[in-house]
Structure 1
Amino acid sequence: MMFSTQGLSLTRIRGDLFGGLTAGVVALPLALAFGVASGAGAAAGLYGAITLGLIAAIFGGTRMQISGPTGPMAVVFASTLTVVGGQIHLAMAAVLVGGVIQMLLGAFKAGGLVRFIPYPVLSGFMSGIGIIIILLQIPPLLGAPPVSAPLLALQQLPAALSAANLQTVLLTVLTLIIVFRTPMSISRVVPSPLVALCLMTVLAVTAGFEVPVIGEIPMGLPEFVTPAFSLQTWATVIVLGATLALLGSIDSLLTSLVADSVTRTRHQPNRELFGQGLGNMLCAFVGGLPGAGATMRTVVNIKAGGRDRISGVVHALFLLLLLIGAAPLATNIPLAVLAGILIKVGVDILDYRILKLLRTAPRTDITVMAAVFGLTVFVDLIVAVGAGVVMSMGLIIHQLTRQANFRVCPLEEKYKGSGMLDGDVRLLEVDGPFFFGSTSRLLDRVDQVMGTRAVVIDCRRVPFMDLSAQFALEDMIERLKSLNIPVVVVVQGDIRKELEKLNAPHLPPELLHETLDDALLVARRALAV
Structure 2
Amino acid sequence: MSDLTAPHRQSSDWKLFVPKLVITLREGYRLVDLRHDAISGLTVAIVALPLAMALAIASGAAPAQGLVTAVVAGFLISALGGSRFQIGGPTGAFVVVVYGVIDRFGYDGLILATLMAGLMLIVAGLARFGTWIKYIPDAVVTGFTAGIAVIIFSSQVKDLFGLEMAEVPAEFVDKWHAMWLARGTLDLASLAVAAGALALIVALRIYAPKAPGFLVAVVVGSLAAVLFGLPVETIGSRFGGIPGSLPTFSFPEISLGRIAELLPSAFTIAFLAGVESLLSAMVADGMTGRRHRSNCELVAQGIANSASALVGGLPATGAIARTATNIRSGARSPVSGMLHAVFLMLFMLVAAPLASYIPLAALAAVLVVVAWNMSEIDRFRQLMTAPIGDRLVLLVTFALTVLVDLTVAIEVGVVLSAVLFMHRMSEVVAIGQPGATIIEGDEEEEAVSGRAGRREADDLPDGVQVFEMRGPLFFGVALRLAETMDRIGKPPAVYVLRMREVPLIDSSGAAKLREFLAHARRGGSTVILSGLQRQPRRTLIAMHVLHPGDGIHLAPDFRTALERAREMLPGSAAGT
Could you state the TM-score of these two structures normalised by the residue count of structure 1?
0.93
Q: Secondary structure at the match of 1:527?
A: coil
**Retained in 2: the 8 A contact 1:172–1:339?**
yes
Task: Report the counterpart of residue 544 of structure 2 in structure 1.
Answer: 503
Does 2:506 align with 1:481? no
Task: Say which is worse superposed, 238-247 or 12-21, in terms of deviation.
Answer: 238-247
Q: Report Cα offsets for 1:212-231 as digits up to 9, x if no partner.
A: 21122122112433312333
Task: Report the counterpart of residue 213 of structure 2 in structure 1.
Answer: 192
Task: Report the counterpart of residue 516 of structure 1 in structure 2.
Answer: 558
Q: Secondary structure at the match of 1:444?
A: helix
Match of 1:170 among 192, 206, 213: 192
User: Which letter maps to 1:513?
Assistant: A
Match of 2:394 among 360, 369, 387: 369
**Retained in 2: the 8 A contact 1:213–1:331?**
yes
Task: Report the counterpart of residue 71 of structure 1 in structure 2.
Answer: 92
Q: Secondary structure at the match of 1:39?
A: coil
How many residues get paired?
A: 523
**Retained in 2: the 8 A contact 1:79–1:149?**
no
Q: Secondary structure at the match of 1:429?
A: strand
Q: Report Cα offsets for 1:134-166 as digits up to 9, x if no partner.
A: 111111212235554433321212123121111
CA distance 1:417–1:236, change in 2 (3 Å): closer
Task: Report the counterpart of residue 435 of structure 1 in structure 2.
Answer: 474
Match of 1:310 among 335, 345, 353: 335
Task: Report the counterpart of residue 319 of structure 1 in structure 2.
Answer: 344
Does 2:482 align with 1:461? no
Task: Say which is worse superposed, 317-326 or 27-36, in terms of deviation.
Answer: 317-326
Q: Distance in 2 between matches of 1:277 and 1:5?
A: 25
Q: Distance in 1 between matches of 2:102 and 2:263?
A: 14
* Aligned positions of 1:56-455 closer than 5 A: 56-84=77-105, 86=106, 88-144=107-163, 145=165, 148-184=170-206, 186-188=208-210, 190-215=211-236, 216-357=241-382, 360-408=385-433, 413=455, 420-421=461-462, 424-454=463-493, 455=495
User: Which letter maps to 1:138?
Assistant: V
CA distance 1:509–1:497, change in 2 (3 Å): farther
Q: Secondary structure at the match of 2:67?
A: helix
RMSD, aligned CA: 2.2
**Retained in 1: the 8 A contact 2:500–2:533?**
no
Q: Distance in 2 between matches of 1:275 and 1:505?
A: 47
CA distance 1:278–1:456, change in 2 (3 Å): same
Q: Distance in 2 between matches of 1:447 and 1:227?
A: 63
CA distance 1:142–1:328, change in 2 (3 Å): same
**Retained in 2: the 8 A contact 1:434–1:469?**
yes
Does 2:55 align with 1:41? no
CA distance 1:509–1:372, change in 2 (3 Å): farther
Q: Secondary structure at the match of 2:223?
A: helix
1:402 shift after superposition: 0.9
CA distance 1:235–1:354, change in 2 (3 Å): same
Q: Secondary structure at the match of 2:79?
A: helix
Stretches of structure 2 lacking an aligned partner (at least 5 in a row): 1-20, 437-452
**Retained in 2: the 8 A contact 1:74–1:289?**
no
**Retained in 1: the 8 A contact 2:383–2:390?**
no
Q: Secondary structure at the match of 2:466?
A: strand
Q: Distance in 1 between matches of 2:472 and 2:68?
A: 52
1:353 shift after superposition: 3.4
Q: More relative contact order in 1 or in 2 (CA 8 Å, sep 6+)?
A: 1
Q: Distance in 2 between matches of 1:206 and 1:99?
A: 45
User: Which letter maps to 1:520?
Assistant: L
CA distance 1:315–1:506, change in 2 (3 Å): closer
Q: Distance in 2 between matches of 1:493 and 1:182?
A: 61
User: Which letter maps to 1:157?
Assistant: M
CA distance 1:186–1:509, change in 2 (3 Å): farther
1:12 shift after superposition: 1.8
Q: Distance in 2 between matches of 1:449 and 1:275?
A: 59
User: Which letter maps to 1:491?
Assistant: G
Q: Distance in 2 between matches of 1:361 and 1:497?
A: 37
CA distance 1:337–1:432, change in 2 (3 Å): same
Task: Say which is worse superposed, 479-488 or 507-516, in terms of deviation.
Answer: 507-516
Q: Distance in 2 between matches of 1:327 and 1:147?
A: 30
Percentage identity across paired residues of the two chains? 33
Stretches of structure 1 lacking an aligned partner (at least 5 in a row): none
Q: Distance in 2 between matches of 1:132 and 1:458?
A: 54
Q: Distance in 1 between matches of 2:96 and 2:264?
A: 16
1:417 shift after superposition: 6.2
CA distance 1:514–1:213, change in 2 (3 Å): same
Q: Distance in 2 between matches of 1:68 and 1:404?
A: 46
**Retained in 2: the 8 A contact 1:24–1:316?**
yes
Q: Distance in 2 between matches of 1:16 and 1:417?
A: 74
1:5 shift after superposition: 8.2
Q: Distance in 2 between matches of 1:211 and 1:456?
A: 82
Task: Say which is worse superposed, 97-106 or 148-157, in terms of deviation.
Answer: 148-157
Q: Distance in 2 between matches of 1:329 and 1:256?
A: 34
1:431 shift after superposition: 1.9
Q: Secondary structure at the match of 2:257?
A: coil
User: Which letter maps to 2:327?
Assistant: I
Task: Say which is worse superposed, 141-150 or 54-63, in terms of deviation.
Answer: 141-150
1:209 shift after superposition: 1.7
